[in-house]
A and B are shown apart, each in its own frame.
Chain A
Amino acid sequence: MGFTLSNQQQLLSKMATGNGHGENSPYFDGWKAYDSDPFHVTKNPNGVIQMGLAENEMCFDLIQEWVLNNPEASICTAAGVNEFKDIAIFQDYHGLPEFRNAVANFMGRVRGNRVTFDADRIVMSGGATGAHETIAFCLADPGDAFLVPVPYYPGFDRDLGWRTGVQLIPVACDSSNNFKVTRAALEAAYEKAQKANIRVKGLLITNPSNPLGTVLDRDTLRSLVTFINEKKIHLVCDEIYAATVFSQPSFISIAEIIEEDIECNRNLIHIVYSLSKDMGFPGFRVGIVYSYNDDVVNCARKMSSFGLVSTQTQHLIASMLSDNELVERFIAQSAKRLKARHMRFTMELAQVGTSCLKSNGGLFVWMDLRRLLKEQTFEAEMVLWHTIIHEVKLNVSPGSSFHCPEPGWFRVCFANMDDKTMEIALSRIRNFVAQYKEPIAPRKNNRYWQSNLRLSFQSRRMDDIMMSPCMMSPHSPIPQSPLVRAT
């Protein structure tokens, strides 16, 4: 039985039929190309290599070995099977105490034990995705806004805004100062919101940054704290890449800053964390809301009912992360391997005249291909991007998908593949760059051409966005969400 679009629009909520999920975007093409022609070293050596997926596959050998040697973590010892019942029936939204303790312990160690975390403030969520949405529900009403420095992770639009009705207002950052967040930019964004009668409830930062891979220095962090304190707005710090920092300058957590001599209402400080990046466990859906505000902890905990971590997983993680020897070894090895991978990548690119933003964390590089653009426009960026996908056969993420204000930047992930695949990816990039010494001109009849490429920086109210055929890619959306994986 066919339904017209308007039937569905009446039948379902505006939320369900609108575009707030953010998946009707032209960026699907990269994912589609990969899914229809995925690289495999032997079975499909000419396929598309996935470099749009910020996953950490660097240290699974360590983890798998540990799991094998510690069967009780998987509840599969003879004695352990009796534990099964206790774990299977435990649905308390406080979470298993050993789980919270282990996560608090891990978070502290990742920060070199310079700070400790209170296990009673650890609140579970359905991944960092769930954590961000929960925080938005706790701190903001529909129509309220969060300031977010650009470029930022595309999923934030969905996570903070889709079902909550919250808007994101970009804070301008650009390459002139390596995308640093300045006080002036914060003030400008705040003013803009005030003029538009939009109530700003907080500032969201990702540190280490996605997509930049950089860490915030102490002065910047302090200025952010001063800013939010003065404005009496919240500071949400997404620290999910904390353990991926592999060289100097070292990572400084907001948890450390607030212990310093600085005026700060702690009730405004909240951290989002997850094991998806640091440990490489996105499939286990371990998200954490850590707040210094008791009311937020209580509210977030109640909301965690909508996305609790499976106790089977809580139990596994509790065992794993309370093994200090494993934790220390993992943190050290992970950093070492990420550093080596990053160095290889950036050095190879430098040799062919391609630079990346100087970075020391994350699972990706922020590659500068501005010189390959025929013109400094987002249309030209899209053309270059399609060329990279379809001719060079690499799925990378264009900067515009991260709301980057300057065309020509690309996020390229390097931690989700083995060494062999990485070498092949590098050789493809080398050949490509050598081949295209001239900037790439936009092709008039390019069937990949799309209008309406530039993401609007204006806040998008969910209610105003209705799904319309012209916004959808002519290629049917692939079943798998790029937003789930393009993190």
Chain B
Amino acid sequence: MLSKKASCDSHGQDSSYFLGWQEYEKNPYDQVQNPNGIIQMGLAENQLSFDLIESWLASNPDALELKRNGESVFKELALFQDYNGFPAFKNEMVDFMASMRGNKVKFDPNKLVLTAGSTSANETLMFCLADRGDAFLLPIPYYPGFDRDLKWRTEAEIVPIKCTSANGYKITETALEEAYQQAQKFNLKVKGVLVTNPSNPLGTTMTRLELNHLIDFAIEKEIHIISDEIYSGTVFNSPSFVSIAEALTERNLEDAEVWNRCHIVYSLSKDLGLPGFRVGMIYSNNQAVVSAATKMSSFGLVSAQTQYTLSQMLKDKKFTANYMEENQKRLERRKEMLVCGLKGAGIRCLESNAGLFCWVDMRHLLQSNTFEAEKKLWKKVVCEFGLNISPGSSCHCSEPGWFRMCFANMSEETLMVAMQRIKALVESTIVPQQTGLSKSRWLKNKWVFQLASYEQEPDR
């Protein structure tokens, strides 16, 4: 009776990533009212710097009151449905994006398309670049929501680019080529590569070398690059963030064909911590993409009310500069807290310099080097120790035992409680004797030595 899309599960919401959320919803932690509830560590939200925003709003009432120089602009906003977006807002957005990239690149508001969150931006780009059945290559591990955003209604395919902990998950030329060949084997036409930089779930930024490999690859194969840069403002440590825009400019590729095949996705959900406001965008040098995406944005425009309020906020450059600096400081501090807490429990993280989460190595806590064991451990963590963390398999990681833990969506006190629970978990877990892997050997190496590659499809 319904469509295939409605009846199948390619919305991806039966994955463990979302199931953990459901468990949390049933029994959410509250410091006072439910201290034994589940702590949400699966939500990549930035709640560390709201006080800065709130105080700005209190001092600048026009922004929320929808006034301009004391005069109400309510009617103007209520009627504003132009899919080209509120000009004042787009002008401020491009300045903001540039400042986040150290002003090494400049952006043109006419190349910016506003969408209802980056969820909508990513889907829209896929509709613009891929026909049904075409494929995009994505480095694993990747954000679980991409299965829904890139594949569900578009009927596009994702082919993974194998990245492993052996080299810190760096994207190599070999891995790119292998993924491309894999797609060919399945008769899938590859239309592009989508990278998340800084990475979710890894929390690392791409190196110049990686970016150049990516650009070379896109030139050779004549395919697109989508760079999801929604965490670009969360880079709190070196190496500094290098946007795809910067990498292209550095190589003087503004007149090259690949310039028209590079597109950036951005959002204010992570950097400014405003996921509820649904502010996403696509930036593209390709006029045809801008044109098509703009028309498609009709299906998910940004509320004019929100465009106005944020245009006022972003206009205050002193505020935004101060906010970014302070926010990054707080993120770094909080991340260090988590890393230290985990270290105290004998757990290591991938070294990271960005994002709202850590990529945590719990392989030594697995009963066996399998995804079944990972799932078992995950269930234990959620149900017995009350922490909703995201298992690596939900991010399509090829190696069992990695988990993403978020740190920016809770108070310090709550994080402390989470650390205690982790310690308790470790104490309750017997370190396994794995084939070919002794405890001491594990401790010697920073990264796990290369295991046999697994063809196994990770759990959904």
Counting chain A CB atoms within 10 Å of each CB, the highest count among B132, B289, B305 belongs to B305
Other than the known A11-B224, A312-B303, A313-B306, what 20 A-B pairs have Cβ atoms closer than 8 Å? A1-B256, A11-B129, A15-B128, A21-B296, A57-B79, A60-B78, A64-B72, A75-B57, A76-B61, A81-B58, A82-B54, A84-B54, A89-B276, A91-B269, A137-B3, A141-B5, A158-B295, A284-B77, A306-B153, A310-B303
Contact of A129 among B131, B269, B278, B298 (CB under 8 A): B298
Q: Determine the residue in chain B with the shortest Cβ distance to A314.
A: B276
From A12, A144, A232, B129 is in contact (CB under 8 Å) with: A12
Pick the residue among B2, B75, B81, B261 that contacts A64 (CB under 8 A): B75
> Does B437 have its Cβ within 8 Å of any Cβ on chain A?
no
Instruction: Report if A469 contacts B (CB, 8 A).
Output: no
What residues of B have a CB within 8 angstroms of the CB of A481 in the complex? 83, 295, 298
Contact partner, A21, options B129, B289, B295, B302, Cβ 8 Å: B295
Assess whether A1 is in contact with B305, with CB atoms less than 8 Å apart: no
Residues of chain A within 8 A of B79, CB atoms compared: 55, 57, 280, 282-283
Docked Cα-Cα span, A64 to B119, in Å, equals 33
Residues of A close to B278: CB separation below 8 A: 91, 308-311
Q: Are A163 and B153 neighbours in the complex by a CB distance under 8 Å?
A: yes
Closest partner residue, chain B, to A309 (CB atom): B303
Whether, in the assembled complex, B332 has its beta carbon less than 8 Å from a beta carbon of chain A, the answer is no
Interface membership of chain B positions 123-135, coded 1 if the CB is closer than 8 angstroms to chain A and 0 otherwise: 1000111111010
- In the assembled complex, 27 residue pairs joining A and B whose CB atoms fall closer than 8 Å, in A order, are A11-B286, A12-B288, A13-B127, A16-B129, A21-B296, A60-B75, A60-B78, A71-B65, A81-B58, A84-B54, A85-B54, A89-B275, A158-B295, A163-B296, A232-B1, A282-B78, A282-B79, A284-B303, A295-B6, A299-B2, A305-B117, A306-B299, A310-B279, A310-B305, A312-B305, A312-B309, A479-B84
- Candidates A23, A126, A159, A485; contact of B300 at CB < 8 Å: A126
Tell me which residues across on chain B come within 8 A of A75, comparing CB atoms: 57, 64
Contacts of A164 in B (CB 8 A): 153
- Complex Cα spacing A338 to B148, Å: 44
Does B301 contact A296, Cβ atoms closer than 8 Å? no
Q: Please name the residue on chain B nearest to A201 by beta carbon.
A: B3
CA distance A90 to B117 in the complex (A): 13
Counting from the closest, the 7 A-B pairs by CB-CB distance are: A311-B276, A283-B304, A307-B300, A16-B292, A126-B300, A310-B303, A76-B64
Write the chain A residue with the least CB distance to B302.
A310
The answer to whether B299 and A307 have CB atoms under 8 Å apart is yes
A346 at the interface (CB under 8 A from B): no
Residue of A with least CB distance to B301: A285
Interface string of B244-273 (1 = CB under 8 A from A): 000000000001110111000000010001
Q: Which residues of B contact A313 (CB under 8 A)?
A: 303, 305-306
Chain B residues packing against A (C-beta within 8 Å):
1-7, 11, 13, 45, 47, 50, 53-54, 57-58, 61, 64-66, 72, 74-75, 77-84, 116-117, 119-120, 123, 127-132, 134, 148, 153, 224, 255-257, 259-261, 269, 273-279, 286, 288-289, 292-293, 295-296, 298-306, 309
CB <8 Å contact, A310 and B276: yes
Chain A residues engaging chain B, CB cutoff 8 angstroms: 1, 3, 8, 11-17, 21, 23, 55, 57, 60, 63-64, 67-68, 71, 74-76, 78, 81-82, 84-85, 87-91, 126-127, 129-130, 133, 137-142, 144, 158-159, 163-164, 201, 232, 267, 276, 280-285, 293, 295-296, 299, 302-303, 305-313, 316, 479-481, 483-485
A12 CB contact (under 8 Å) in B120, B273, B289: B289
CA distance A53 to B274 in the complex (A): 33
Least CB distance from B400 to A in Å reads 28
For residue A305, which residues in chain B have a CB less than 8 angstroms away from its CB? 117, 119-120, 148
| Nearest A-chain residue to B21, judged by Cβ | A92
A129: chain B residues within 8 A (beta carbon): 298-299
Q: Are A480 and B84 in contact (CB under 8 A)?
A: yes
> CA–CA, A285 to B83, complex, Å?
11
Residues of A within 8 A of B309 (CB): 312
Residues of chain A lying within 8 A (CB to CB) of residue B83: 480-481, 484
From A71, A76, A284, B78 is in contact (CB under 8 Å) with A284
User: Inside 8 A of B66's CB, which chain A residues have their CB?
Assistant: 67, 74
CA of A311 to CA of B117, assembled, Å: 12
Nearest CB on A from B63, distance (A): 8
> A89 and B45: CB pair below 8 A?
yes
Contact between A14 and B131 (Cβ–Cβ < 8 Å)?
Answer: yes
CB neighbours of A267 from chain B (8 A): 1
Closest approach, in angstroms, between the C-beta of B278 and any C-beta of chain A? 5
Distance A310 CA – B301 CA, assembled complex (angstroms): 10
Closest residue of chain A to B46 (Cβ to Cβ) is A89
Asked whether B11 lies within 8 Å of A302 as measured between CB atoms, the reply is: yes
